[in-house]
């Protein structure tokens, strides 16, 4: 029997604010991508150093105040390693040491710069019981029989509500679902929860309001992650599904039936059992769901009244995102030059498909250098998809990948070379300019790290040719 009053607080790791989470996400990911695979202690030192510099402009983290050091440690342990699952440990028996590896989801993020898809993946992987919690908490959740994919369950409930032309409140989802032991144990179908909510509404049943950091914060954190995944929209009281993500919504509902990570198979009463569980959990939880790239789930009608259907998958490939960014900047440059002098607009050229140039658009200075308006401007476009607007405050950080040819072009063209950073957000598109990145690198204002090395060799270095059977 479903008992809404059977309340149980099932917490998650607390993150930062939505904007701060996305502001720091590329920093987190590129720290992992830059150093992994790496010895655990060496990785910790390198990550602490980079985080200390990004957050407090101090490279030597041991000189930080106690509070600032705790902040750096929290970013490393709680956010990068636990909530976001950007890396995982593997014990190397031969070397008798722990090696830190980059997770699949981190690698996807670095290569694709698609924040909403990263958070969709995080939400799809998330489950209770959650192996990241303290050992005694995990053991208790297992003993209580808790077994739920909360994000997938909430999406299914919202889908049922919207197909019935109803909106649910955040408090209702918090009380009837995310704080209810019967639901957390996987005993109650989403349809039954919906029916009870509607019945209680009709009968004027008033449930206690969840408030404060202890009762409400862990529920709010889950809503934040679903919003970062672009799955939901909301106002101050109510919450509903994003109609533009119908295929992803179908995948969430489908994933309710996929296997869980089975924590009951580990002996959580022993140190060895807990250690093995945590290692395998972290690797599992950082995997990337390839179905996010090739969604073949049937398109859902979010509203039977309006028969809203999505004709295209909302998730763009890296190429699509790059092309969209180039097209946007090309038009922006055309409009800027045209406003200065119509006849000069033909000097703005879209060259992104021309290989080997090291830039995407050729333009001119125009109104931004009226003394020499026809001086050349070379533009490399780098686009990112995220949910919130970048804050651009003192702790804000970003990271992008450039090719060898692009960096050579940056050095070659110097003052004429620019990177236009495009942020596609949920509510607006923002374009910012980085002028002469090569000089900025020389001045120590930006850091450029080679992550791919080309190795050329001749026959004289070959030792053995192995015959194939």
281 and 367, same domain (yes or no):
no
Any domain includes 418: yes
Whole-number Å distance between alpha carbons of 152 and 126: 9
User: Do residues 228 and 387 lie in contact, with contact meaning Cβ atoms separated by under 8 Å?
Assistant: yes
251 and 212, same domain (yes or no):
yes
Any domain includes 183: yes
Any domain includes 307: no
Any domain includes 256: yes
251 and 372, same domain (yes or no):
no
Q: How many distinct structural domains can be found in the chain?
A: 2
Reported confidence tier of residue 318, pLDDT bands at 50, 70, 90: low
> Per-residue pLDDT tens for 76-97?
999 999 999 999 999 888 888 9
332 and 281, same domain (yes or no):
no
Helix axes 246-255, 115-125, angle to 10 degrees: 20
246 and 344, same domain (yes or no):
no
Token representation of residue 4: 């809404």
Helix axes 150-163, 246-255, angle to 10 degrees: 120
Mean pLDDT calculated for residue range 37-58: 93
Any domain includes 195: yes
- Nearest one of 255, 302, 4 to 160, comparing CA atoms: 302
Token representation of residue 176: 């009837």
282 and 414, same domain (yes or no):
no
Token representation of residue 28: 């987190």
pLDDT value for 305:
32
Any domain includes 335: yes
Beta strands in 86-199 (DSSP E): 87-92, 97-102, 168-169
Whether 317 has a pLDDT exceeding 80, the answer reads no
pLDDT value for 298:
41
Whether 368 has a pLDDT exceeding 60, the answer reads yes
DSSP-based three-state secondary structure for 81: helix
Mean pLDDT calculated for residue range 392-397: 80
Whether 316 has a pLDDT exceeding 70, the answer reads no
Task: For the chain, give the mean pLDDT.
Answer: 89
54 and 200, same domain (yes or no):
yes
DSSP-based three-state secondary structure for 269: coil
Whole-number Å distance between alpha carbons of 308 and 310: 7
283 and 144, same domain (yes or no):
yes
Of 95-104, 374-383, 446-455, give the lowest mean pLDDT range: 446-455
Any domain includes 461: no
Whole-number Å distance between alpha carbons of 347 and 238: 51
Beta strands in 311-427 (DSSP E): 349-350, 361-364, 376-385, 417-424
260 and 340, same domain (yes or no):
no
pTM: 0.84
pLDDT value for 279:
87
User: Do residues 109 and 118 lie in contact, with contact meaning Cβ atoms separated by under 8 Å?
Assistant: yes
Reported confidence tier of residue 25, pLDDT bands at 50, 70, 90: very high
Token representation of residue 76: 């490393």
Beta strands in 195-252 (DSSP E): 232-234, 238-241
Whole-number Å distance between alpha carbons of 46 and 34: 10
DSSP letter assigned to residue 355: T
Assess whether the previous peptide bond of 440 is cis (omega < 30° from 0).
no
DSSP letter assigned to residue 380: E
Whether 162 has a pLDDT exceeding 80, the answer reads yes
User: Do residues 356 and 403 lie in contact, with contact meaning Cβ atoms separated by under 8 Å?
Assistant: no
Any domain includes 9: no
DSSP letter assigned to residue 99: E
Range of the domain at 165: 18-292
208 and 95, same domain (yes or no):
yes
Whether 312 has a pLDDT exceeding 50, the answer reads no
The residue whose two tokens read 């949910």 is: 387
Residues of the chain with pLDDT > 90, as a percent, come to 65
330 and 210, same domain (yes or no):
no
281 and 327, same domain (yes or no):
no
CATH code of the domain covering residue 173: 1.10.10.2090
Whether 399 has a pLDDT exceeding 90, the answer reads no
Number of neighbours of residue 209 by Cβ within 10 angstroms: 10
Per the model's pLDDT, the better-predicted residue between 14 and 312 turns out to be: 14
454, exposed or middle or buried, with CB in 10 Å at 0-12, 13-18, 19+? exposed
> Per-residue pLDDT tens for 263-294?
988 998 898 898 889 889 999 999 999 998 86
């Amino acid at each position: 029997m479903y008992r809404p009053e059977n309340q149980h607080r099932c917490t998650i790791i607390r993150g930062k604010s939505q904007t701060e989470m996305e502001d720091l996400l590329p920093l987190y990911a590129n720290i992992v991508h830059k150093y992994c695979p790496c010895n655990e202690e060496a990785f910790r030192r390198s990550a602490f150093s980079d985080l200390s510099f990004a957050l407090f402009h101090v490279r030597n983290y041991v000189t930080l105040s106690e509070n600032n050091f705790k902040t750096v440690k929290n970013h490393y342990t709680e956010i990068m390693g636990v909530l976001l699952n950007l890396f995982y440990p593997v014990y190397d028996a031969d070397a008798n040491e722990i090696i830190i590896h980059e997770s699949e989801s981190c690698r996807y993020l670095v290569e694709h710069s698609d924040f909403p898809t990263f958070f969709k993946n995080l939400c799809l992987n998330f489950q209770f019981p959650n192996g990241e919690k303290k050992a005694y908490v995990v053991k208790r959740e297992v003993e209580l029989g808790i077994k739920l994919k909360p994000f997938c369950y909430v999406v299914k409930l919202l889908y049922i509500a919207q197909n019935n032309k109803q909106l649910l409140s955040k408090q209702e989802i918090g009380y009837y679902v995310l704080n209810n032991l019967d639901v957390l144990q996987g005993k109650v179908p989403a349809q039954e929860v919906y029916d009870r909510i509607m019945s209680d509404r009709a009968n004027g049943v008033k449930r206690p309001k969840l408030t404060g950091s202890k009762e409400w914060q862990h529920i709010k954190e889950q809503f934040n992650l679903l919003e970062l995944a672009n799955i939901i929209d909301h106002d101050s009281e109510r919450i509903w599904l994003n109609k533009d993500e119908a295929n992803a919504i179908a995948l969430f509902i489908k994933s309710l039936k996929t296997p869980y990570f089975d924590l009951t198979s580990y002996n959580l009463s022993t140190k060895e059992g807990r250690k093995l569980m945590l290692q395998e959990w972290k690797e599992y939880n950082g995997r990337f769901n390839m179905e996010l790239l090739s969604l073949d789930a049937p398109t859902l009608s979010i509203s039977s009244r309006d028969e809203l259907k999505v004709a295209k998958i909302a998730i763009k490939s890296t190429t699509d995102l790059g092309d969209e960014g180039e097209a946007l900047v090309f038009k922006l440059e055309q409009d800027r030059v045209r406003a200065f002098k119509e006849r000069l607009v033909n000097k703005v050229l879209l060259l992104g498909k021309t290989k080997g140039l090291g830039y995407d658009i050729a333009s001119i200075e125009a109104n931004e250098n009226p003394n020499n308006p026809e001086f050349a401007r070379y533009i490399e476009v780098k686009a990112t998809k995220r949910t919130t607007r970048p804050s651009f405050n003192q702790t804000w950080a970003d990271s992008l990948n450039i090719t060898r040819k692009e960096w050579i072009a940056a050095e070659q063209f110097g003052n004429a070379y620019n990177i236009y950073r495009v942020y596609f957000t949920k509510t607006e598109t923002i374009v910012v300019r980085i002028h002469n990145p090569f000089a900025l690198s020389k001045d120590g204002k930006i850091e450029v790290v080679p992550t791919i090395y080309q190795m050329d060799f001749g026959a004289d270095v070959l030792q053995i040719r192995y015959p194939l059977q």
